[in-house]
Structure 1
Amino acid sequence: MIRKFLFLILIFSAVSFAQTNPAITSWLQNTTGITGRHYVAGNSTPINDAVLANVQTVHYDGTWVYVSATGIPTYITGPFLDGNPSLATAQNKIFKIPLSPTQNTGTPTATTGGNIGIFKNGVALFDYRDGVAWSSTTNALCGGPGNPPCAGGPGTTQAWNRDAIPAERAGFDCAKAHPAMGNYHHHQNPSAFNLDLTVLSNICDTYPSDGLYTINPLVHSPLLGFAYDGFPIYGAYAYTNTNGTGAITRMKSSYQLKSYPTGLRSNGPSINQVVGTQTMFNGYFREDYEYVAHPSDPSYLDEHNGRFCITPEYPSGIYCYFATVDANHNSAYPYVVGPTFYGNKTATTVTSVPSGSSLYNPALNSSLFENSEFKIVIAPNPSQDFIAIQAQMVENDLTVELINELGQIVKTSKILQGSTLSIIETDTLYNGIYFIRISDREKIKNYKVVINK
């Protein structure tokens, strides 16, 4: 009897741990077999892939969580219009991430090229760089496709390292991402271009997609993923104060562009120098930025692009990174994590899940049963050109219907299983009061919206 009692305590403890640790419970697990989709240039009809999207399984023990994912999202990927011949292809990785991340009290670890984190749908996070730099020896770009290798070989630290976000914008899809030899990844805030206040790319006009979440300045942004030191990554908005109080405000990067009074960079190209088709404007290289602390304003982040704070998922507080944007919701350097990690970088990939680890079943998470409200965020409201309907992860497809005052359904959409977002275009509709009806197999919820153009 005693052994049975102890066994039940162990099971209960394991289940409780899984239900309360966001590093275990926050992943978008694919429970319906939904597959990825992609566009190819010249075809605005997405192609269905035979690759499972999002995260397939989550295992955990007392120290680590093991996340098995293809690296393919449910939002549509592509096309990549800068000549990138690659498509987003299955990576089939098992990510090993610490459950109790720790601060690095020694020399901070610099971020590197390739994966430095993983979003909650299994898609990779890269840092700012794209592998291209400026060679002071040849006075030309080096590294990357079409350029000669940088002196010293791959990974050589250069004085001027190119920033992928402005330099490769033409090659990002609607969700602000692209593949490197098949490894689809975001360098930056993973929301769609056409939802930004100032739209920097028209890729969504022909090839619409939705990204991982929608920025809403009125609510705390969702947990988006985890860096390779195990600390969580959030969207662009949070509580003003680190203790979880104050108004919702935009988390601001403390990096700003340097001033070049003479228009010259040391051992680098002049500001706005044109080399081939490339203009070396201020902000083209990572080294164009400098860190400036703002100790009196808690909404400014530290040199790692994070801060300690209380969040909805971490009521006791934890260090958090943020996907920073500017006032126009355009991505702001260092974008997510970097240029160094706050914590000890211990995450890695493994070839198999260790024996003895527990399989996390999302059905055990009690929050999934609190579905009568659907936990929906609708923005903007009033709307002009579109309405973004943001949900938490859903276990079943949600049907989204836009209904006018006469009770007529004028638009329909879906939030797919394992996804979080649906966009309804409203630019062709008349001004007035409408209703959003959200339904699954069992429940219906209505929301009032206003279209005012």
Structure 2
Amino acid sequence: MRPLITLLLLTFLCTSGRAQLSPAITSWLQNNSETGTYYVEGNPTLIENDILVNCQKVEYSDDFVYVSATGVPAYPTGPFPDGNPSQATNQDGIYKIPLNPVQNTGTPDATVGGNIGIFINGVALFDYRDGVAWNPNTNTICGGPGNPPCPGGPVAQQDWNRDAIPAEREGFDCSKGHPAMGNYHHHQNPSAFKLDLEVTSTICNLYDAEGLYAIDSTRHSPLIGFAYDGYPIYGAYGYKNSDGTGGIVRIKSSYTLRDITERTEHADGTDVSDGPPVSDTYFLGYFREDYAYNAPAAADQDYLDEHNGRFCVTPEYPDGTYAYFATVDENWVSAYPYAVGPTFAGEYENRSVNSVNETTTVYNGTTSVSGFADDANITVFPNPAADLIAVQLPGLVDHDFTVQLINADGKLVREKFIRSGQTIAYFDTQTFYRGVYFVRISSADSEVTRKVIVE
């Protein structure tokens, strides 16, 4: 009997190992069939881009997970009304994320321009900056498209560096993203402008999209990405206390705007070259250095550290992990430092690689079982409807759903799909007869139906 016992034990150990794969392996949205869409300014009709969306391959070794992705999301991209001529293009990227990230106990690494992380749909995360700064020698803006170069070149840190979020708001699409030479990315929480409690951009009115996930103040936010130091990134809400207790609250940035009218020194008192005085053009918050870090009290566990993270329990890490949060204010408007930064908590490396040079195992599993985590939060609006019906799924959608519109006679009228990495489906009802209709939302083994009136 001993060989049988040994075999059963080995089977149990192997099965347990698979069941305990790191969320850094299992959380990516994989796709090898669906392609993306985009808008161009002046045309509110979506255009197919024929580029696969989300991530195409996930493989892992003992120390790393390798994610192959186009960098193009499932939700529509564009337009970019600030004159950006670019569109989201295939980045054909491979990203090597450490499975066992290490906190940096020395001088922290500053975040850099360009990619500093990757969302679970393969889209790039940038930090606050947009490459524009203040040149004290000329007393003008420097860097970025259309401006003279900054002293020291494009990678040199200046004393006053522009914050892309307020400065480039007009150039973000509905999903709060834009491309840099085709590299579509988010600097901030990737949830659509129209879903914020205070809407700060009207671009969704003409060029509708939804972003990676919908903020839900009643549930711990989904895991939405990984920074280049290997630590996970969550959305805006989490457990109040780091041990997983205290209920669900908005997790808050510990950075606040300084009370200044002149820009002559940094928040730590360092004397620097003068920036422009605070004005309507160069408003408070225009530059990253307009913010100061205020270390939270020990009791304020829902406030983050100087890297915009904390060590805490999350649904994916019940034993705890260091994690970043995509911070927003009480109106769900993006709040500095937005996701990661201005320094990394862990040891930073550029995680974009050209190839996989070690033996790996390919991960083909789904990120969750089919079904509805909370069907009470599925929203069908407006109701009654006149011109359109929108179906909004809560949180992050990590597998495909079929959405059917059925009339009172039980006849299928229209069918749409919500793919992983999307959250909304729309039905144009302008030509429909008045009456009662039913919206049926289904996945592989779950189904929910909502009644809606068309007037």
> What's the secondary structure of 2:377's corresponding residue?
strand
Q: What is the distance in 2 between the residues matched to 1:14 and 1:66?
A: 22
Q: Distance in 1 between matches of 2:376 and 2:20?
A: 23
Residue aligning to 1:269: 276
Instruction: Verify the 8 A CA contact 2:380 2:392 in the aligned structure 1.
Output: no
TM-score under structure 1 length normalisation = 0.87
Change over 3 Å in CA distance of 1:381–1:90 after alignment to 2: closer
Q: Summarize the Cα distance change of 1:354–1:195 in structure 2 as closer, same or farther, 3 Å threshold.
A: same
Q: C-alpha separation between the residues in 1 aligned to 2:382 and 2:180?
A: 36
- When structure 1 is superposed on structure 2, of 292-301 and 172-181 the one drifting more is 292-301
Write the mapping of 1:14-163 to structure 2, written as runs, cut at 5 A.
16-17=17-18, 20-31=21-32, 33-163=33-163
Question: Match of 2:394, as an amino acid?
Answer: Q
User: How many angstroms apart in 1 are the aligned matches of 2:341 and 2:262?
Assistant: 25
- Unmatched runs of 5 consecutive residues or more in structure 1: 274-278
User: Alpha-carbon deviation of 1:268?
Assistant: 0.9
Amino acid of the structure 2 residue aligned with 1:16: G
In the alignment, residue 111 of structure 1 is paired with which amino acid?
Answer: T
Are the equivalent residues in 1 in contact too, given 2:213–2:396 (CA < 8 A)? no
* 1:28 aligned partner, one-letter code: L
Structure 2 residue ranges without an equivalent (≥5): 265-273, 384-388
Contact 2:418 2:425 in 1 (8 A): no
Matched-pair contact (CA < 8 Å) for 1:93–1:350? yes
- The 5 A counterparts of 1:266-415 are 266=264, 267-272=274-279, 279-295=281-297, 296-346=299-349, 348-362=351-365, 367-368=368-369, 371-373=370-372, 376=375, 378=377, 388-390=392-394, 393-395=397-399, 397-401=400-404, 413-415=416-418
Q: Take 1:72 and 1:333, find their aligned partners in 2: how far apart are those partners? A: 25
Distance 1:159 1:434, change over 3 A: farther
Deviates more, 1:286-295 or 1:399-408: 399-408
The one-letter code of the counterpart of 2:67 is V
Q: Is the 8 A contact 1:249 1:299 kept in 2?
A: yes
Q: Does 1:234 align with 2:241?
A: no
Residue type at the aligned position of 2:392: A
1-structure distance, mates of 2:142, 2:376: 45
> C-alpha offsets along residues 296-355 of structure 1, whole Å, 9 cap, x if unaligned?
211111100011111111111101100000001000000000000011114512211224
8 Å CA contact 2:120–2:224 kept in 1: the answer is yes
What SS does the aligned partner of 2:316 have? Answer: coil
Offset at 1:232? Answer: 0.3
Determine what percentage of the aligned residue pairs are the same residue.
56
Where does residue 270 of structure 2 map in the other structure?
none
**Residue 438, structure 1, aligned to residue 445, structure 2:** no
Cα distance change on mapping 1:324 and 1:379 into 2, 3 Å = farther
RMSD (Å), alpha carbons: 3.1
Cα distance in 2 for partners of 1:70, 1:15 equals: 32
- Residues 216 and 379 of structure 1 are in contact (CA less than 8 Å); yes or no, is this contact kept in structure 2? no
CA distance in 1, matches of 2:326, 2:140: 31
Residues in 1 aligned to 2:428 and 2:333: alpha-carbon distance in whole angstroms: 23
Q: Equivalent residue for 1:215? A: 215
Q: In the alignment, residue 337 of structure 2 is paired with which amino acid?
A: P
Contact 2:66/2:97 (<8 A) preserved: yes
How many angstroms apart in 2 are the aligned matches of 1:436 and 1:189?
29
Deviation string for 1:157-188 (max 9, x for gaps)? 11110000000001000000000001000000
Distance in 2, matches of 1:342 and 1:104, equals 6
Contact 1:18 1:360 survives alignment (8 Å): no
Query: Aligned residue for 1:185?
Result: 185
Structure 1 residue 401, shift from structure 2 partner: 4.3
| 1:450–1:44 CA distance, 2 compared to 1 (3 A) | closer
- TM-score (normalizing by structure 2): 0.86
Distance (Å, rounded) in 2 between the aligned partners of 1:11 and 1:39: 51
* Counterpart secondary structure, 1:170: helix
**What do residues 226-271 of structure 1 show as CA deviations (whole Å, max 9, x unaligned)?**
00000000000011111111111000000000001xx221101111
Preserved CA contact (<8 Å) 1:437 1:444: no
Report SS of the residue matched to 2:165: helix
Q: Distance in 2 between matches of 1:308 and 1:347?
A: 23
CA contact (8 A) 1:189 1:325 kept: yes
SS in structure 2 of the partner of residue 130 of structure 1: strand
CA distance in 1, matches of 2:379, 2:186: 25
Change (3 A) 1:410 1:332: farther
